[in-house]
Chain A
Amino acid sequence: MTQQGVRWSADQVLALAPDAASRKAGSKLGTAGPWSETGSSNEGAVWGLCKGSGSTPYRTVADIGDAAGPAYSCTCPSRKIPCKHALGLLLLWSAGPDAVPEGTAPEWAERWLAGRRKRAAGRRAKAAGGSASADPEAARRRAERRAERITAGATELEQRLADLLRGGLAQAEQAGYGLWEEMAARMVDAQAPGLAARVRELGSVCSSGPGWPVRLLEECALLHLLDQGWLRREQLPEKLAATVHSRVGLPGSADGPAIRDHWLVLSQHDTVTSRLTTRRVWLYGTDTGRTALVLSYGAAGREPEQSLPVGLLMDAEVSAYPGAGQARVALGERFGPPAPTLCRPPGVTTAEAAARYGEALHEDPWLESVPVTLRAVVPVPDGDSWQLADADTDAALPLTPAARSRPGLWRLVALSGGRPVTVFGECGHRGFTPLTAWPQHEAPAVALC
């Protein structure tokens, strides 16, 4: 399905930009003016010379066909990746073969490309050779020690929850944030970041407005369930135990079998905290019908490096992380550059979407939401919120509180104009979060985040 050498759309190129300033600077360089000796290869390499203010032009080369994701090289002094020249060059390339013809890479570009391919081959060989660590015995001992600390942490947390319930949740509201922060810090010490994050979450539930006691009890109960799951993990089925492991915060490794498919990039969105930017990319396997999640991280204030523009289709392998009901995968080798496509996932009704979430809870009771495509829904205003209503039934899914305040909501409403659209998003107990939409006629995806 992926055609080699198909050019990306400019939107997809621009999605690679590390920030708005680069997007703007790159788009100014996306015209033929400053460029000379441009060319591209079928394998996804694009090169050219860009005239700047200096006397020698910059040599810019981009490789979007690389197995590890797009890579760039430019002789300009910018430290941004990709720099504006690389973006401008790819924009020019996206405009078609008039601007950037197909050809053979000049010597300077070929040197860089060859160097990259050699390193990539080296990496693959090393990966195939097995990643067994130097001392399996030491690793086992380390893991055991960590498990003991988590057990101690979970036990303490159970005690705290029991105290809390004995005194009543009303007290917790008065105790304020400090109570939870302190408890979370204890869980960090216990090397259980998953527990720590949930405890911190409890703190914000208290101040989340009307209905907080219900939400707090829910979250406390699920935390209790996770503690109990950890403490009795030996008695759990293997897959559920793996889910508990990852929920508690133990790093798993994506050692599932490689699944090769033509993966459609459904959405890409970032959640930013003071410490970390988390990028969630949802993929849809057009052959297997499987939906998978790729997570990548960037340190405070920096964008995660992995960028997958919405609407691209790529022939690639992924491998799943362990655990029942887990969608997370690691992106493995890519076979050829990603190319734009108009295909979209098949959709369901709102009732089916709600049922999917319910079924998924069988395997992972801590699940907040599941990825779902709604086939034909209309955004409907509902008081100060919005719903997505089936085009031909009387059922509707409310939007999550977070989705209501995003600018993407208005893009969705405008796209619909009161008529049905296809919407991909996350459906959970708090409602639906739209991430990408398609009009009913054949047209490219519209990213909503």
Chain B
Amino acid sequence: MVMTSAPVGASGSGIWEELVTTALLGTDRRALPDGVGGGPAPAALLDTAAVETVRRRAGLLPAPVAQRPRPASEDPRPALPAAAARRLAMLLADRSGTDRGGRRGPVHDLKGLLPQWLALANAHGYAPPPETLPALLDAARAHTDLRPAALAFAGPRARWLARLNPEWRFVLREAPAGGAGLPGPDDTDRIRQLWEEGLFGERVALLAALRDRRPAAARELLASGWTSERAEDRLLFLDVLRTRLGPDDEPFLEQALGDRSRNVRATAAQLLSALPGSALAARMAERAAACVAVDHTGGTPTLVVEAPHECDAGMQRDGVVPQAPSGRGERAWWLGQLLEAAPLSTWPGRLGGRTPQEIVALPVADDWQEELHAAWCRAAVRQKDARWARALLGAPESGGPGALSLAERSRLVETLDTDERAEWVAGFIAAHGLDEAFQLLEVCAVPWAAPLGRAVVDALEIARDAGSYPWSFSGVMGLADRCLDPAEADRLEKLVAVREVAQDAASARVEEHWAGEFQRLVTTLRVRSAMAEELRGG
């Protein structure tokens, strides 16, 4: 019995036990309990059992209450507007639904919208409807990339729930979003305690939160027990210093150059080289400058490169890896590392006062151009130097002077500021189409700026007119789903209609496909704009 039975009297419950025993063994083997009526034994047993059953059920009482859970702390944030709550429920139902999308499925699925929705809702500072939390936590459990935003949105009740359901344990392991629950920057005692006693994840979260607000305090905390940390941990802690890296960090990093672990040394060197004023940067600048010079002997000034002949102990201490990967000459390998770590500001002075543009345009003797430019690309990325990035990228129409790889190009583009980035990528797409645009689009700010959005839509239209297959553009279409400004929907709408231009069945099918893809894109954009609208209307 689930509920406690009513105490119907000892005889009542006693007779029931007797009945069960007799029934189990059979009336042929065991006599009926006293007081059970006449007639054939089985029927008499069932008669009495029926009465007892109904009596027991009718007499049921509630059970005593078990240990009540402590109520969840109140969520002070305002509730979601009703329409937005509905949207959330729909997006979540979608995620937990089956993934049978097939060819068209994943790219255009509403799924991609949940991260955006969460970011918007968090920006507005809304609290979730509590009954949606289970679905939200399930989604966050299945998709780790969703966790930070989902848990920030889920708020205190999610942590309360996670204590009751083992499937949601991960919530307790994750650092509370926005540093909630972590000691404040002034709470030195608690910081010290958590740092010394916390789990690794908690310590990283603590260090990162502190670094964000008090860079120096974070560094000092890290330095306090530095040598006793494990090598892997030292590496990850060191990584935290990337945030708000400054000249004050130099002594600590210099000291880390002598670390037992090679990876730690390399990371320290990398961080130091990103500080143009550091002693390491100066040493690297000196070494690198010795390798590159302008030669005026010919008709045109030309860059000549003299790669280092050895990788001495000083270079190694500064993070230069002596062992070249197989297939690469070791002198070129050392040169690349020196150029990458040397501050780019070294070069105009060293190379006759030329601007980055002029330097990049100089011819390079003896096939060193590729090596040299690639190293400068890495340096521009590491030092976040937009001037050099611009020079190395060249005009978007030209596609850059050097033979840039797709990855190099997108990382250089990333160093430009948001507007310039969008403009450059728009120019690139206008000139070269979408074939190589995916990685570039990925680094552009969302939603795409107007000129960029226009360039993408134009390029899609051109691709269709050229008879390309729509599925060759599924990657870009997928990005557009998430990143295109919903204001572009009106322009796209014109592309939706199937044009009667096809000469044969195959191209008619392609045409129809394009129309379908555009229709889906338009629909998604409309949903996105509705979504933003719903979250605004509180």
Contact = CB atoms under 8 A, between A and B. Distances in A.
Given A9-B86, A415-B131, A357 B516 contact: no
Nearest to B531: A31
Interface stretch (B90-98, B261-269, B476-484): B90-98
A382 B66 contact: yes
Contacts of A381: 66-67, 69, 164
A361 interface: yes
Contacts of A32: 526
Contacts of B42: 161-166
* Residue from B29, B68, B98, B132 having most chain A Cβ neighbours under 10 A: B68
A429 B61 CA distance: 10
A417 B64 contact: no
Contacts of A354: 3, 60-62
Interface in A388-426: 389-390, 394-398, 400-401, 407, 410-411, 413-419
A211 B5 CA distance: 15
A152 interface: no
A10 interface: yes
7 contacts: A28-B523, A53-B519, A221-B50, A224-B47, A353-B62, A410-B134, A414-B130
Given A166-B42, A168-B25, A381-B164, A415 B49 contact: no
A357 B58 CA distance: 7
Nearest to A165: B42
A161 B132 CA distance: 49
Nearest to A54: B498
B505 interface: no
A418 B89 CA distance: 22
Contacts of A446: 131
B60 A378 contact: no
A24 B46 contact: no
A76 B516 CA distance: 17
B329 interface: no
Interface stretch (B16-24, B279-287, B360-368): B16-24
Interface in B1-60: 1-3, 19-20, 23-29, 40-43, 45-47, 49-50, 52-54, 56-60
Nearest to A28: B523
B314 interface: no
A389 B68 contact: yes
Contacts of B83: 10, 95
A414 B161 contact: yes
A214 interface: yes
B62 A11 contact: no
A218 B527 CA distance: 56
B320 interface: no
B194 interface: no
A380 interface: yes
A110 B451 CA distance: 47
A358 B134 contact: no
Contacts of A11: 86, 89
Contacts of B41: 165-166
A220 interface: yes
B195 interface: no
Given A361-B57, A380-B69, A397 B523 contact: no
A27 to B, nearest CB: 5
Nearest to B70: A418
A143 to B, nearest CB: 28
Nearest to A382: B66
A365 interface: yes
Contacts of B515: 53
Interface in A71-112: 95
Contacts of B58: 357-359, 361-362
A354 B480 CA distance: 58
A217 B19 contact: yes
Contacts of B63: 387, 395-398
Contact of B26 (A165, A211, A362): A165
A362 B57 CA distance: 11
B69 A418 contact: yes
Interface in A2-51: 9-11, 14, 20, 23-24, 27-29, 31-34
Interface of B: 1-3, 19-20, 23-29, 40-43, 45-47, 49-50, 52-54, 56-72, 82-83, 86, 89-90, 93-94, 97-98, 110, 130-134, 157, 160-161, 164-165, 489, 498, 512, 515-516, 519, 522-523, 526-527, 530
Contacts of B67: 380-381
Contact of A217 (B20, B40, B93, B519): B20
Given A165-B27, A168-B26, A33 B522 contact: yes
A170 interface: yes
Top 9 nearest A-B pairs (CB, nearest first) are: A168-B26, A418-B71, A221-B49, A165-B42, A395-B62, A358-B58, A417-B72, A410-B134, A162-B42
B62 A351 contact: yes
Nearest to A217: B23
Main secondary structure of the interface of A (DSSP, over half): helix
A169 interface: yes
Nearest to A366: B54
B512 A218 contact: no
A72 B323 CA distance: 74
Contacts of B86: 9-11
Contacts of B2: 398, 400-401, 429-431
Nearest to A444: B82
A167 interface: yes
A170 B290 CA distance: 95
Given A165-B46, A414-B161, 7 more contacts: A161-B42, A170-B24, A217-B53, A222-B50, A354-B3, A354-B61, A389-B65
Given A27-B90, A382-B66, A397-B62, A413 B164 contact: yes
Contact of A168 (B29, B52, B61, B133): B29
Contacts of B489: 33
B81 to A, nearest CB: 12
Contacts of B25: 168, 170
A358 B60 contact: yes
Interface string A204-229: 00000001011011101110110000
B24 A31 contact: no
B164 A165 contact: no
B70 A222 contact: no
* Residue from A165, A220, A353 having most chain B Cβ neighbours under 10 A: A165
A33 B65 contact: no
Interface string A419-449: 1000000000111000001010000001000
Contacts of A225: 46, 50
A350 interface: yes
A131 interface: no
A351 B131 CA distance: 27
B527 A171 contact: no
Contacts of A395: 61-65
A160 B24 CA distance: 15
A396 B66 contact: yes
B43 A28 contact: no
A396 B49 contact: no
B26 A221 contact: no
A415 B294 CA distance: 73
A411 B131 CA distance: 5
Given A95-B83, A358-B57, A389-B65, A417 B157 contact: yes
A167 B64 contact: no
Given A24-B97, A53-B498, A394 B64 contact: yes
B57 A429 contact: yes
A227 to B, nearest CB: 9
Contacts of B527: 28, 31
A398 B3 contact: yes
Contacts of A362: 58
Nearest to B21: A213
Given A221-B50, A351-B61, A387 B66 contact: yes
A134 to B, nearest CB: 42
Contact of A171 (B26, B62, B66, B82): B26
